[in-house]
Structure 1
Amino acid sequence: MTTPVRLTQYAHGGGCACKIPPGELEEMVAGLGPVPSGRELPGELLVGLESGDDAAAVRLNGDTAVLSTTDFFTPVVDDAFDWGRIAAANALSDIYAMGGTPLLAVNLLGWPRDVLPASLAREVLRGGLAVATEARCHLAGGHSIDDPEPKYGLAVTGTAHPSRLLRNDSAVAGLPISLTKPLGVGVLNNRHKQTGEVFAHAVESMATLNRESSAAALAAGVRAATDVTGFGLLGHLHKMARASGVTAVVSAAAVPYLDGAESSARAGYVSGGTKRNLDWVRPHLDPGEASELTLLLLADAQTSGGLLIAGEIPGAPVIGELVPAVDRVTVQVR
């Protein structure tokens, strides 16, 4: 009998928890702004590096902006098909987080071809295709390399109306904050990696598209949103509040979690990426009476998390509010 391959054992990290820490990343890209003025380029760059938004956007004309993004990571689960589904949903989420519609995606695959069979890589690609098909997005070709660690994701192109972009620098004081998926996939994925336990509800949460939430936000007239991925709720909320010049107040008791997330965090299944997220935000955080465990859960490195919306949509719990900026504090926990 063949022993099942545990893909998570072939990678040092997993999912969005393997991102370069946000502080290091910001130093790395500092100064790499748009092409100097005077150069003739097609279209108008609407969203670039400045606020660290989810996708780049270029206006082609009055009705159409082209969105471009890419996302890939090491195995977050052991099942190859599920990993493909999750990675594709995560990459597509950047388009939805900007209020866009994905049109075309290409595969990005790194594979240790002398270690893992090609049949497993095919399952990963098949999972990606399944989710792209669900998203009604063309998935055609891509690029692959021989890599010591398995990696998979997509580069995605989409469109949006230039005046209806959901941006992370457009939040205003007085609006509620809504979250469309519960937190906790980071600790559950870390537990899965260490123990082999399977958390089907976490897999389905990660593989669920943010399409309906994005459409609901646009229908409600929302102007500011982002998705919650590797930098955790606190990290992405910090980026939104900083870019928008407001302070976000989070009601810790209102934040939803996946079953088993809190107990897994108490048991110590907290990734290094989550700890780095909290360290990065802490200088700009007023934690109130929140415990360290609560703060770690709020900083939990998510993979294919939900949308964080400045506004309200049906079915999404309100977890806080935006208020006028308070000194250097971007996030308060209450």
Structure 2
Amino acid sequence: MKIRAVVRGVGHYLPERVVENAEFEATLDTTDDWIRARTGIERRHFAAEGETTSQLAIKAAQAALIDAGMAADQIDAIVVATSTPDLTFPSVATMVQAGLGTTSGFAYDIQAVCAGFVFALTNANGLIVSGQAERVLVIGAETFSRIMDWEDRGTCVLFGDGAGALILEAANGSGTNEDRGVLSTDLHSDGRYRELLFVDGGVSSNGKAGHLRMQGNAVFKHAVQKLAETAHTALGKIGMSGEDVNWIVPHQANLRIISATAERMQVPMERVVVTVQDHGNTSAASIPLALSVGKQRGQIKTGDIVVTEAIGGGLAWGAVVLRW
């Protein structure tokens, strides 16, 4: 027998304001066609004035609890992946805990930028497998619109706001790939590449929130190589390959990265959940958002082998293989 962390529910929330590509044409040297051709993005959601990351996270969490048929007080731990917290401290996770009305268990944030949800999911799996928690609420939530330089057409058209949540629960498995739940994980980081993707602000540097800065071409090259490699590694740990995968649910950064990674994994695009056209890059929120939408669409079904992979600033990257 082996303890597995099994998905019991998933949910998401998107702010009401939808921003089409055409909105940027009035203030930037760009067009809807230019953005679509280079990124696949058609629209994204922006949080309203005063709408915070924790508020998005709470709504996504509530949707996941409904999907799981659980009450908030059944959750032992809350792990939130975000790079855009409401405050320097306390954590967004403790704000979610309060927002859900729970006082038991523990809650904390993880920061691995766009790879945050993969890191959080791996962390939550560890909590369950070690016996530290029985049910863990894992959330990715971001308000990247707060750190955009609206004069930089290379970045500000790429990102959006949103939140996705997933509930993992301990279950007995046989220890084989036939088990439901998280089957393998693979995490990496390399701090030498900080200058490729970073925010030029922080508490101990200049006391400002700062703006996102990115060397797009360099990030693209790293992403395609590293995403395929980490997914192959995670699959290889359990003797699987791309042929065994029902769905890739990738970080939704750029359609060209998504398609190039799928090609390297020898998985057809028909087996890739794609939401980037409607959400843009929502950083740590993108994978749980896509998992929730994929389930709603009827794509992801019980028993499917799902691979999630992501790369973000750090650089940090990784993959998780699970049976839904």
Which bracket does the TM-score occupy, shorter chain normalised?
Answer: 0.3 to 0.5
Structure showing the higher strand proportion among its residues: 2
TM-score normalized with structure 1 length: 0.33
TM-score normalized with structure 2 length: 0.33
Structure number with larger C-alpha Rg = 1
The structure, 1 or 2, with the larger RCO (C-alpha pairs under 8 Å, 6+ apart) is: 2
